[in-house]
Structure 1
C-alpha cells in the first residue's frame, strides 16, 4: 500500500487548506471515503466482487490500521452487497481518517468553541505537498494526455461517483469538462461497462469492485441536480 490511502486523498481534496473546513456534500464525501477503503483493499488483492457482493479473497493484513480493521470486520460478517458496506463503514470513518492525518502531521486539529460551549474542529493543512501531489495527478489525468495509473483512475472514479468535482476548484465550463473527463477515465478503466474488462486499463478484479461501489454511491445520493 502507498503512504496516502484513497480515502485520505478524497478527504484532503474536500477540505480547504486554509480554513480547514469541509466543502461540498458531507454524505457524498463519507460514502466516497467508505468506498475508498474498499477499493484500497481491492487494489491490495484482499477483496473482490462476486455474485453481487464484496467478498474477502485474502485475509492477510495490509499494514494500514483502518483497512485492516475493515478487512477483519468483513471476514467476520461475510459477503454483503456494496450498498450495505458503504453505509456500514461511513459512520465515524471521517474522524478516524482525520485523526490519522493529524498524527502524521499532514493537517492540524484546531479546536474552537462556539456559543460558549460547542466545540468546532477545523483541519487546516500543515504539509500541503501531500494534497499538491494528489491534485497534480488528477490534473494530468484530466488533460487526457496520458492514461492514468490504476490508483489515479480509481481516485478519479470515486471523485465522480461522490460528486466531488467542485472540490477541484473549477466552475462553469471547466467544471463540466472535468465531469466529462472523469467519466471518460472511469469508462476507459472499465468502471462503467463502456469497455470490456479485457480492454480495461486496470485489473478486472479492481474494475468490478469500483463499478459496483460507484453504482452504490450513485443510488445513495439520488438523482443529480
Structure 2
C-alpha cells in the first residue's frame, strides 16, 4: 500500500489496517486474493456501520416459519436521492465534482455500472462524461 494515512472513516481505516497487515505477511500478496479472504468480515462490518449511522434498518423474520431472514431496507431515502442528484448534476449537466463524487464516479465507471447509476439513461449519454471524470480523478492522484 502506498498510503496508510487515516481516512477518518472508522470502517475504511479498519479495512486498510487489516489489508496492510495481511499484505505484510505475504511474500507475493495479490490484491485479488484479499476480497475473498475478507468478505465475511467486511460485509458484516459494513452492515453494522450502515445501521449505526441510521442509513438502513435491520429487520429479522422467519421465512415459512423456519428459516431466519435478515433484511436491511433503507431507513430514509433522502441520502440516496441527494447522491443521485449529485451524480446527475456532474454527469448529465456538467458541473464540477467534489473529490468524493469524482471518486464514486470513477468507481462506477470502472465497474461499468452506468446503467445502475443512471437507470433509463442510454449508456452512450453517460459513459463519455464518466470516463472524463475518471481520467481527471486518476490524473489528480498521480
Aligning the two structures, in what range does the TM-score lie when normalised by the shorter sequence?
0.7 to 0.9
Deviations for 1:147-202, whole angstroms, at most 9, x for unmatched residues?
3222211101111223333333513x534422343223213333xxxxxxxxx3x3
Alpha carbons of structure 1 residues 57 and 187: separation in structure 2 relative to 1, 3 Å: closer
- Alignment of 1:133 with 2:82, yes or no, is yes
How big is the alpha-carbon RMSD for the aligned residues of Structure 1 and Structure 2?
A: 2.6
The CA deviation at 1:71 is: 2.6
Alpha carbons of structure 1 residues 178 and 122: separation in structure 2 relative to 1, 3 Å: farther
CA distance in 1, matches of 2:62, 2:78: 29
Q: Which residue of 2 aligns with 1:102?
A: 51
2:129 aligns with one of 181, 189, 193? 181
1:78 aligns with one of 17, 23, 27? 23
The CA deviation at 1:114 is: 1.4
Deviations for 1:48-72, whole angstroms, at most 9, x for unmatched residues?
xxxxxxx1534x5444332222232
The CA deviation at 1:81 is: 4.1
Runs of 4+ in 1 over 4 A off after TM superposition: none
- In structure 1, runs of 5+ residues without a counterpart are 1-54, 191-199, 205-225
Alpha carbons of structure 1 residues 103 and 89: separation in structure 2 relative to 1, 3 Å: same
Give the 3-state SS of the residue equivalent to 1:125 in structure 2. coil
1:20-39 matched pairs, under 5 angstroms? none
CA distance in 1, matches of 2:126, 2:3: 34
Q: Confirm or deny: 8 A CA contact 1:142 1:182 kept in the other structure.
A: yes
Greater relative contact order structure (CA < 8 Å, 6+ sep): 1
1:68 aligns with one of 4, 13, 35? 13
- Alignment of 1:154 with 2:106, yes or no, is no
Q: Confirm or deny: 8 A CA contact 1:153 1:186 kept in the other structure.
A: yes
TM-score normalised over the length of structure 2: 0.75
- In structure 2, runs of 5+ residues without a counterpart are none
TM-score normalised over the length of structure 1: 0.51
Alpha carbons of structure 1 residues 63 and 94: separation in structure 2 relative to 1, 3 Å: same
